[in-house]
Amino acid sequence: MNKIASFTVDHRFINEGVYISRIDGDITTYDMRMEKPNTGSLMDNATMHSLEHLFATFVRNSEIADDVIYFGPMGCQTGFYLLVRNADNAQVIRVIKKVLEDISVYDGAMPGESEIECGNYRNLDVNLARIKAKEYLSKIKDITEKDLEYSKGGVIGIIGAMPKEVAAVKEMMDFCKTEKIGTLEFNVGTLLGHNVVVAVAGVGKVNAAICTQTLISKYSPEFIINTGVAGGYKRLKVGEIVVASAVVQHDFDTSAIGDKKGQIGGINIVEIPCSEKVSSEIVKALEDIKTIPYERGIVATGDQFICDREKAEEITETFGAIAYEMEGGSIGQVCYINNVDFCVLRSISDNGDEAASVSYEVFAEEAIKNTVSVLEKFLKNR
C-alpha cells in the first residue's frame, strides 16, 4: 500500500507550528502542530477535547467560515487538522492566530457541553482550552506563509571534531533537541528548511568513525558533511577553503606486505572519492559567495597533528594531498562501507609546518567562520 502523506514526513524533525501537509484540488490541509512529536509531551484528552469544541466553533464563525471543511484532532495527540477550501494561506494564518487569541481570553460557556450535543460532555473544561491556546499562540505568533512547508528531503549529517567547529551551525538551527548515545551527543532539528543532525565526534580517526557509524545507524542520513579546520599545503592561505575530491589515510601503511601505501584493508583502495554531487553544490555556494578563495583536492587524514614541513611535503608527494587533518578519511571510510554520500569541507588554519601549532591557535576561529558561511549558503541553495 502507498503511504499517506503524513507518514512521508520525518516526525523527528517537526517543531511546533502550522504546516501544509497536502492539497487536494481546492482543499488544503493545515497541520496545527502544538507539541513536538515523540518527546513525551502530549495533550491530554480533556485539553484536546476542550480545544476542539472551542476552536471548531470560533473558526466556523470566522471570516473563513464558509470554506472550513473540517477541524479535528490528530490521533497522536500532538495537534489538529484544519481543512479549508479555496485557502488563502495568509488569511488562514491570520484567522488561526485570531481564533487562538479569542479562546485564550474566553470566559463564556463551553459550546456543546451537554449530553445532547456531545458524546463525552463531562470531559470539557474552558480553562484547559484557554491555557493551551495561549501557549500555542506564543509559539506561532511570528509564523508567515514561508513557514508552512515541512522541512525538505532526507537527513543531512554534519560532523565536526571539536565543539567550536559546529557551535555556530547549532546556533542557526530552527529548533534542536539533543539525543545522547554513549558519550556522543547528536543535535537533531531543522536548519534553513532542512532536516539535520549535528554532532561533535572528538579528535582522531577512531572517534570520527564511531560517531559516523552511530549517526548512520540511528538517523539514516542522505549524506554527511565533515566540516572544520585543516592544515594546508604551503601555497594555501589561512582561511582558504578546501573541498575534498577524495580522502586518504596517510598513516595507514601495509606496504611491507605488498600493498600500496595508504591502501585501506577491507575496501582495498587508497583514495575514497567524495560525492561529486554534494561537492559540486558546495563549490557552487563558494562561487556564489565570491569572497572566499577555495581549492578542490585530496585531503589526507591521520592520527597526527602535522607541524613538520618535511612530513607535510612527504604526505603531499605520496598522496597528492593539499590539506591534512585527523577525521575526514575515517568518516569517508565508514560512509563508503555504508554506501552513504559524504563530503569534507575544511578551512585552512595553518600550513602544517613548524609554526602550525601557533598558527592554529591564532587563526582557527577565523577559519571556522568561513566553513559556516559556506554551509549556510549551501543549504540556502538547496
Q: What is the CATH number of the domain that holds 83?
A: 3.30.1360.80
Q: Is the pLDDT assigned to residue 5 strictly greater than 80?
A: no
**Number of domains into which the chain is organized:** 2
What gap in Å lies between CA 77 and CA 132, rounded to an integer?
13
Q: Tell whether 216 and 339 lie within a shared domain.
A: yes
Q: Could you tell me if residue 96 is left (phi over 0), alpha (psi between -120 and 50 degrees) or otherwise beta?
A: alpha
**pLDDT (0 to 100) of residue 352:** 61
**pLDDT (0 to 100) of residue 359:** 55
Q: Which of 124, 147, 170 is the last residue of a domain?
A: 147
Evaluate the CA torsion angle 209, 212, 213, 214 in order and state its sign: positive
Q: Is the pLDDT assigned to residue 326 strictly greater than 90?
A: yes
**pLDDT (0 to 100) of residue 289:** 96
Q: Tell whether 11 and 99 lie within a shared domain.
A: yes
Average pLDDT taken over every residue of the chain? 93
Q: For the residues 157-170, what does the mean pLDDT come to?
A: 94
Q: Tell whether 181 and 273 lie within a shared domain.
A: yes
What gap in Å lies between CA 355 and CA 352, rounded to an integer?
8
Whole domain around residue 83: which residue ranges? Answer: 5-147
Q: Tell whether 44 and 68 lie within a shared domain.
A: yes
Q: Is the pLDDT assigned to residue 358 strictly greater than 50?
A: no
Q: Scan for cell 564511531, then name that residue.
A: 210
All three cell numbers of 80, joined, read 489538529
Catalytic residues: 165, 350
**pLDDT (0 to 100) of residue 165:** 92
Give the three-state DSSP class for 11.
Answer: helix
Report residue 234's pLDDT band, with 50, 70 and 90 as the boundaries.
confident
**pLDDT (0 to 100) of residue 271:** 98
Q: Which of 147, 179, 214 is the last residue of a domain?
A: 147
Evaluate the CA torsion angle 219, 225, 353, 163 in order and state its sign: negative
**Sheet harboring 27-33: ordered strands across?**
17-24, 27-33, 79-85, 68-73
**pLDDT (0 to 100) of residue 306:** 80
Tell me the whole-structure pTM to 2 decimals: 0.78
What gap in Å lies between CA 224 and CA 209, rounded to an integer?
12
Output b/e per residue, 354-363; b: 16+ Cβ within 10 A.
Answer: eebeebbeeb
**pLDDT (0 to 100) of residue 18:** 97
Q: Which of 98, 122, 147 is the last residue of a domain?
A: 147
Q: For the residues 273-281, what does the mean pLDDT come to?
A: 97
- Predicted confidence (pLDDT) per residue in 74-83, tens digit: 999 999 999 9
Q: Tell whether 104 and 21 lie within a shared domain.
A: yes
2-16, 124-138, 205-219, 292-306: segment of lowest average pLDDT? 2-16
Report residue 9's pLDDT band, with 50, 70 and 90 as the boundaries.
confident
Domain of 220, CATH number, reads 3.40.50.1580
Q: Is the pLDDT assigned to residue 356 strictly greater than 70?
A: no
Q: Ranked by mean pLDDT, which of 57-66, 145-154, 300-309, 364-373 comes out on top? A: 57-66
